[in-house]
Amino acid sequence: MSNVELYSMSFCPFAQRARLMLRRKGVDFATHEIDVTKPRSASFLQINPEGKVPVIRHEGRVLNESSVICEYLEDAFPEPPTLPREPYTRALARIMVDHCNNQFVPLMYRLLMNQDRSADAKLIDQALATWRWVDELLSRHNPNGTFLDDRDGFSLAEINYAPFFQRYCLNEHYRGFRLPDEAGFARVRRFRDALLGDALVKETGMSDEDFIKLYFDYSLGFGNGSVPPGRERSSFDLSVPLAERPLPPAAPRAV
């Protein structure tokens, strides 16, 4: 049995970060799947009292928080490297991760879960500002490239953003979001498209259609397996296969 164990949810973007990192490193690992629609087991809560994923156990020691896990895996399994070799670019990767965690991801979910349709336009503008920030950083550092630094390729920055680029299809479908076809977003669009086309990102994620079906309750304001009033089960309850579910209706495009 592997000495790395990952406690994961197959559709969780934060857990996907950890799976991507482990796969990039070629690390053998055992997976324990946690069901978000059911109470956490006592044994899992002993490992992580918050009940969140991902969690890794390596050599008997436990860590949680996806970005911390990725940094740990970089140190514990240094080859192949997923942090840029050059110190300045390495610092930029960490700045990008901080932006992803504190700006990009919160605005993505805020827009998706918002139930005040009159606030959608303002939230879309705020979300676009988080995309513009990424565009500007990439344009300054590597204007003609694809990744943060093409010499290093798929780094820690890319691993942290890729799961959320995948899930932005949710805001496109449910909130009418689109990334403008403008020069001010051309660099981040190239970055996003490269990550969405990556084989491991595809393997560790889902199709847009499956994400849209799975996250339906988020669009109603109910996250993390909570059940909307009048329903018996969460959209995250996979006892009803995604292939058998209809695609929820799309919102008109707001921008």
Do 99 and 60 share a structural domain?
no
Q: How confident is the model at residue 161 (pLDDT cuts 50, 70, 90)?
A: very high
For residues 73 and 214, give the distance between their C-alpha atoms in angstroms, rounded to a whole number: 29
* Residue 174 belongs to domain with CATH number: 1.20.1050.10
Nearest in space to 194 (alpha carbons), one of 254, 140, 134: 134
- Which is more confidently placed, 102 or 39? 102
pLDDT confidence tier of residue 1, bands split at 50, 70 and 90: very low
Question: Is the pLDDT confidence value at 254 over 50?
Answer: no
pLDDT surpasses 70 at 224: yes
Residues 88 and 209 occupy one common structural domain: yes
Same domain, 227 and 133: yes
Say whether both 132 and 254 belong to one domain: yes
- Shared domain for 91 and 70, answered yes or no, is no
pLDDT band, residue 251 (cuts 50/70/90): confident
**Judging by beta carbons within 10 Å of its beta carbon (0-12, 13-18, 19+), is residue 255 exposed, middle or buried?**
middle
Shared-domain flag, residues 99 and 176: yes
Same domain, 181 and 253: yes
One domain for residues 47 and 141: no
Indicate the residue among 76, 93, 127 that finishes a domain: 76
Rounded mean pLDDT, 53-78: 97
Q: Quote the number of domains for the chain.
A: 2
Of 203, 202, 197, 181, the C-alpha closest to 253 is 181
One domain, residues 57 and 149: no
More confident: 204 or 151: 204
Q: Is the pLDDT of residue 171 over 50?
A: yes
Q: Are residues 104 and 212 in the same domain?
A: yes
Distance CA 171, CA 124 (A): 9
Q: Give the integer Cα–Cα distance in Å for 127 and 168.
A: 10
φ, ψ of residue 42 in degrees (nearest 5): -60, -35
For residues 149-157, average pLDDT: 92
Quote the domain boundaries for residue 105.
84-255
Q: What is the pLDDT of residues 230-245, one digit of tens each?
A: 999 999 999 999 999 9
pLDDT tens-place string over residues 91-129: 999 999 999 999 999 999 999 999 999 999 999 999 999
Task: Identify whether residues 88 and 72 lie together within a single domain.
Answer: no
Q: 247 and 212 in contact (C-beta within 8 Å)?
A: yes
**Res. 56: pLDDT tops 60:** yes
CB 96 within 8 Å of CB 137:
yes
- Is the bond into 54 cis (omega within 30 degrees of 0)? yes
CATH number of the domain enclosing 41: 3.40.30.10
pLDDT in tens, 176-206: 999 999 999 999 999 999 999 999 999 999 9
Does 158 lie in the same domain as 100? yes
**Candidates 12, 70, 100, 169; catalytic one:** 12
* Per-residue model confidence (pLDDT) at position 252: 72
Q: Are 28 and 3 in contact (CB under 8 A)?
A: no
One-letter identity of residue 242 = L
Listed residues 51, 76, 101: the one ending a domain: 76
pLDDT of residue 253: 58
**Spatial contact of 17 and 54, defined as CB atoms under 8 Å apart:** yes
Task: Tell me if residue 12 is catalytic.
Answer: yes
Q: Give the orientation angle of helix 156-167 with respect to helix 186-196, to 10 degrees.
A: 90
Last residue of a domain, one of 76, 108, 126: 76
Q: Is the pLDDT of residue 152 over 90?
A: no
